[in-house]
Structure 1
Amino acid sequence: MKTVVRTDERILSSDIFDRDSRVKRPDHGTWAEPGKDIPVYHRCGVLVVGGGPSGTAAAAAAARAGADVALLERYNHLGGLSTGGLVIWIDRMTDWEGQLVIRGFAEELFDRLPADAIAGPAREDWGSQDAAKAAHWSQRTAAYHGVVTWSPTIDPERLKLLSQEIVLERKVKLIYHSWAAIPIVQDGVVKGVVFESKEGRMAIMADVVVDATGDGDLFARAGAAFVNDIEEADVHHCMNTSWLFGGVDMNRWIEFKAGQPEAFSAFMARGREVCGLFERPFVSWRNDVALFMGPRQSGYSALDVDDLTAVEVRSHRAMAAHLDYFKAHAPGFEEAYLMLSAPQIGVRHARRLSGVGAVLRSQWPDGVALADEVGVTPAVSPKFPNISIPYGALVPQQLDGLLACGRHISCDRNSHGFMREIPQCWITGQAAGVAAALASRGCIEPRFIDVGALQSALLAQGVYLRAGAGQGAQARAAAEAGI
């Protein structure tokens, strides 16, 4: 077990647990797959593969921009890790001054979610450095470095439903229970995908494909360059299956954790001894529901089916062990029960695109609005200004007909620590969706679209961009809106 220390470049401190030993997979030979004609299930302007945060945002944004859109999702819901993965603590959407910079599709979601589906600080407290407010919200995932932030927790079922209804309102063709298998590539251009379902293997053809798989499955299989370097001791590169306990009293737990630090330290130390893999709980959208987003496990690959299985087995065993220990020893957990283990495994990293641009650690200190800025992310600490997200981070160096969005965009491993978060996935998804719509409408490759037109379209959809980005994009948007 390793403990990651909280620094200016990391928000979380957490225990990280090494993988179990692995038995080498035996070689069972090969089988030649027979060739056959595959029926074309659908044709569209923009195909989004993956209905997680970035894919949902991409589909909604592309349809809003006027494209004929299809959204292919392997599960029975949208939202990905923010719903099925139970990553219901949505990371910071305000900067360290309290300004909301994760806007657009993200803002629409929070405007439309029911009030009782969201728990977080009031808008007037965003950016507050009041010691009492910061102390209160630091125990509730919404204050860091002494600053109150907009980083709420949400009801995953409400977010599933809302995400679905938004894309259906915009006439997106939604296809559940379907897993994209291979991209269709002709002369270096992605033309669609082959997918598997209960009906067998079929194809979807599209002008532009958006890879929102989270792991870069499509761009990797299409031959695009990517990297997968990680820091083994970094929480951002671990896996686990999250879970919820019901029947708890989180206010009592927080009183214990914050009010009796020595007893809490002893509780945690004893838990590591008893359970082995061990994690502390986080608040959720309700006081009677506790969220566990660990124990975080390192050394496993999100691209290896045996590793994925092993993480699931360890996580579910840890869930049961935690229940026994917490019921016996944790204030507020006396009546706890197993409520839900996440239907989706918590993958933080697999591949990252090698794009024509990237979000880089070297850019953090400057905070410059890049010419092709398509979004802005809060920095990891008040030490740094806001960070520009360039359109080039979504565009493969060579491959055409495809854009990437979500946690596998082009960035270095330091920047990946925040670019993989739910709000940043909404931002890059919205950018990819609008760009794909423009490319489809103009019958051009995504790398050749007019960036100024893209920025104007994003501004019209409520995305936050800085005045220094592009060449007059904000002025054009204002003129088009009649302002």
Structure 2
Amino acid sequence: MDDRNVSVKEIRQSENRFLSSDIFESGQHVFPRRNGEGVLREEARDIPLYHRCDVLVVGGGPSGTAAALAAARTGAEVVVLERYNHLGGLSTGGVVIWIDRMTDWEGRQVVRGFAEEAIGRLPPEAVAGPDRTLWGVRDPDLAKYWRLRTSAFHGIVTWAPTIDPERLKLTSQEMLIEAGVRIVFHSWAAMPVVQDGAVEGVIFESKEGRQAIMAKVVVDCTGDGDIFARAGASFEADIEEGDVHHSMNTGFMLGGVDMETWLTFRGTEEQAFADFNTLGREQLGFFQTPYVSWRNDIALFLGPRQSGLSALNVDDMTEVEIRSHRFMQSHCEFFRKHAPGFKDAYMLLSAPQLGVRHTRRLAGVGRIERSQWGSGAIQPDEVGVSPSVSPKFPVLSVPYGALVPLRLNGLLAAGRHISCDANSHGFMREIPQCWLTGQAAGAAAGIAANRGVTPRDVEIAELQSTLRAQGAFVRDAADCHSSEDRNRDKDGSLPVQSD
């Protein structure tokens, strides 16, 4: 591939970023511009009805899996429609196996419910991370140790484990089956069925052809807002060129490594590590150092990150995949030759799923905004609590309104496309937050279906009570005490997420 017109932006390590990767933009593609013009008219036809249910969850990623389980536990009949052969989305098929922070800066786990149950059901050998007694610890030596293992930020040990993706696939699947959820794999949602401003089901494609599933409530967990966008709901799609939160890549893993040897090198030989990075950029152009995984003999790579390309454009998505596969080979060869602990490395797996960070964001009844970060206010319709981006801020109250479209009925949205501004999206797209909003949307969908009301008319008190009964951490707005005088961002700077 000719990279002469590709620009590289290095994101240096700082107090807000502890693992870095080059981000680059390019207008070039391997293949020439497509030559398709005009349209074809498709003949009208009857579509077979596959199934009727109370709640249809479109997408079985982190938010979709949590939504399906939560809805089923309200007693609703639930179907989850998934285009791949597994559940978990980016946390499994995308090999984003580093699960971001679920604790606040004092060590209290605030992302609970589905997140706590799913990880708790994994066998001990499938989870790597600090013991619960260390969460919130500020000891410099412990923070340094766990910082290199993706579980310490700003000098504080947190709960941000790495997990075995195959175990999480199986655990997620069994949790849904136990709850009575109908799982439909290898099926791609094509169009929503909309009647009088309400979504009543989805048309999907599979090896059986084009079929439909009808539901009382549909939960869009596609990650890209495919269903609500095609149903006519308003959304935002602003992209900041070169922003890590709006870039893509296909993750990959190298096997046969010794990560402890690598981490010792990285943590103790500062100049040699800097020289190694310089050499990598000189020889490869685009470069990333590895993340730890749940095993010492497997290294995880979640870059180099590629910006300026859209996950809603099939040519751009193809381009990212082609580049990422080439990066996997070049990184494996370079690390095998130059990196301590990698002399026997081999290409183990490139992710089956493209690593997309941002496409669309719902325009909702409510919205999470940058201006809310410092207040510590508990929203009256709180359905969960997100860790904040830095100790400068208190935890963030996640409102139900961020899951509800402004006008479209019969649908809720969960996952990385909820209603928020671009800054807040930087952390609300993370896997724990997707679990959180998925569980909230699923519980609300189940209640709406059971009560015969639209999702926007669900009683907040009943929803909050249901979520608490399912183990989620949801506070009462009556307990709200403003913390504007503390945790205020003194310099107005915007902390940056690491991935």
Same fold (TM over 0.5): yes
Gapped regions of structure 1 (runs ≥ 5): 472-483
Aligned counterpart in structure 2 of residue 125 of structure 1, from 134, 143, 154:
134
Aligned counterpart in structure 2 of residue 53 of structure 1, from 49, 62, 65:
62
Q: What is the correspondence of 1:353-392 to structure 2 with a 5 Å cutoff?
A: 353-392=362-401
1:443 matched to 2:458? The reply is no
| Stretch moving more, 91-100 or 266-275 | 266-275
1:418 matched to 2:430? The reply is no
Preserved CA contact (<8 Å) 1:10 1:380: no
1:6 is displaced (CA, Å) by 5.5
1:27 is displaced (CA, Å) by 3.9
Q: In structure 2, what is the Cα distance between the partners aligned to 1:467 and 1:278?
A: 46
2:25 is aligned to 18
2:101 is aligned to 92
Preserved CA contact (<8 Å) 1:4 1:234: no
Preserved CA contact (<8 Å) 1:455 1:470: no
1:25 is displaced (CA, Å) by 3.6
Q: Find the residue that maps to 2:309 and give its secondary structure.
A: coil
1:275 is displaced (CA, Å) by 1.1
Question: One-letter code of the match for 1:128?
Answer: V
Preserved CA contact (<8 Å) 2:20 2:288: no
Q: Find the residue that maps to 2:477 and give its secondary structure.
A: coil
1:135 matched to 2:144? The reply is yes
Q: Find the residue that maps to 1:190 and give its secondary structure.
A: strand
Q: In structure 2, what is the Cα distance between the partners aligned to 1:27 and 1:114?
A: 51
Q: In structure 1, what is the Cα distance between the partners aligned to 2:350 and 2:33?
A: 29
Q: In structure 1, what is the Cα distance between the partners aligned to 2:19 and 2:313?
A: 27
Q: In structure 1, what is the Cα distance between the partners aligned to 2:299 and 2:16?
A: 27
Aligned counterpart in structure 2 of residue 166 of structure 1, from 146, 155, 175:
175
1:398 matched to 2:407? The reply is yes
2:299 is aligned to 290
Question: One-letter code of the match for 1:18?
Answer: E
Q: State the percentage of identical aligned residues.
A: 63
Q: Find the residue that maps to 1:160 and give its secondary structure.
A: helix
Preserved CA contact (<8 Å) 2:91 2:165: yes
Q: In structure 2, what is the Cα distance between the partners aligned to 1:101 and 1:280?
A: 30
Q: In structure 2, what is the Cα distance between the partners aligned to 1:361 and 1:354?
A: 16
1:41 is aligned to 50
Deviations 1:334-384 (A, max 9, x none): 000000000000000010000000111000000111000000000000000
Preserved CA contact (<8 Å) 1:191 1:206: yes
Q: In structure 2, what is the Cα distance between the partners aligned to 1:21 and 1:312?
A: 14
2:287 is aligned to 278
1:14 is displaced (CA, Å) by 3.2
Q: In structure 2, what is the Cα distance between the partners aligned to 1:107 and 1:71?
A: 21
1:278 is displaced (CA, Å) by 1.1
1:464 matched to 2:444? The reply is no
1:161 is displaced (CA, Å) by 0.1
Q: In structure 2, what is the Cα distance between the partners aligned to 1:61 and 1:230?
A: 32
1:2 is displaced (CA, Å) by 1.1
1:213 matched to 2:245? The reply is no
Q: In structure 2, what is the Cα distance between the partners aligned to 1:66 and 1:225?
A: 31
What is the TM-score normalised by the length of structure 2? 0.93
Preserved CA contact (<8 Å) 1:238 1:300: yes
Aligned length: 471
Preserved CA contact (<8 Å) 1:370 1:470: no
Q: In structure 2, what is the Cα distance between the partners aligned to 1:291 and 1:9?
A: 21
Q: Find the residue that maps to 2:306 and give its secondary structure.
A: strand
Deviations 1:119-163 (A, max 9, x none): 000000000001111010000000010000000000000000000
1:5 is displaced (CA, Å) by 4.7
CA RMSD across the alignment: 1.3
1:2 is aligned to 9
Q: What is the correspondence of 1:427-438 to structure 2 with a 5 Å cutoff?
A: 427-438=436-447
Question: One-letter code of the match for 2:396?
Answer: I
2:360 is aligned to 351
Q: Find the residue that maps to 1:41 and give its secondary structure.
A: strand
Preserved CA contact (<8 Å) 2:18 2:147: no
1:24 is displaced (CA, Å) by 4.2
1:13 is displaced (CA, Å) by 3.9
1:309 is aligned to 318
Aligned counterpart in structure 2 of residue 223 of structure 1, from 226, 229, 232:
232
1:204 is aligned to 213
1:467 is displaced (CA, Å) by 3.2
Q: In structure 2, what is the Cα distance between the partners aligned to 1:44 and 1:435?
A: 15
1:248 is aligned to 257
2:272 is aligned to 263
Preserved CA contact (<8 Å) 1:8 1:383: no
